[in-house]
Amino acid sequence: MKLDPADRQGAALKLQLIGRGPASMAPPSAFVETLFDHYAETFEEMLVGKLDYRLPEVLDAAIREARPGRFRLALDLGCGTGLMGERLRPIVDRLEGVDISARMLRKARAKNIYDALTKADLQDFSYSGDKADLVTSADVLIYIGGLEGFVGTVAGLLAQDGLFAFSVESLADGGDLALQPSRRYAHSEGYVRRTLEANGLSIVALKPTSIRQDRREPVKGLAVVARKAHAA
């Protein structure tokens, strides 16, 4: 921490895990950016080929079931190399992606599936475009931590009846959220439900799923689709 106050190596998270640092509701942004810049070149090979990552397929099916047909505008927050975007492209008129990692965005841009790509930190994100019919965050909230601010932002981005499709790693030990030894955050179902409801989002679908493999064990999670309710 003394050598690198921005904490690109995530030292604060490691200190927290061994009880030598304060608990944090969010990871250092520089750590998340550095992590994904580092993995950009081999990201898809590792995640899909070796870790059995199938979350975009799961969320795609849940979205199509919740609202068949096309979407005028979709925002893919934490788009990475575009794995979720590849699923969304056939059902959206305009697709925009946002990610903290410039190298991940370079990979996504090469696929020519996004109409616009923006580099931004989702912990402090704003959007001035049209209201979206669909917002997705596949395997992203594990690097957000506390969900109140982010879910509030998403609710503000959505048009009435718009959908928010996302995933979390499941927390089964009580509490709302917890930092795991993997330095990813897990969230409880109750916390997810309360946070969505507090921001005017009602759950359409919530299904247990396997996010990926980690050390040859499935990482348990939730695939969620929520709808922005009409204002009273």
Going from N- to C-terminal start, the domains of the chain cover 11-228
Q: What is the pLDDT of residue 229?
A: 86
Average of per-residue pLDDT across 103-117:
98
| Spatial contact of 81 and 44, defined as CB atoms under 8 Å apart | yes
- Count CB neighbours of 166 within 10 A: 27
For 178-195, the pLDDT digits (tens) are 999 999 999 999 999 999
Q: What is the pLDDT of residue 232?
A: 47
Could you tell me if residue 132 is left (phi over 0), alpha (psi between -120 and 50 degrees) or otherwise beta? beta
Q: Which residues contact 32 (CB under 8 A, 6 or more apart)?
A: 100, 101, 143
For 144-181, the pLDDT digits (tens) are 999 999 999 999 999 999 999 999 999 987 899 999 99
Average of per-residue pLDDT across 215-230:
92
Eight-state DSSP code of residue 101:
-
Confidence of residue 214 (pLDDT cuts 50, 70, 90): confident
**How many Cα atoms sit within 13 Å of 189 on the Cβ side?**
13
- What superfamily does domain 11-228 belong to in CATH? Vaccinia Virus protein VP39 (3.40.50.150)
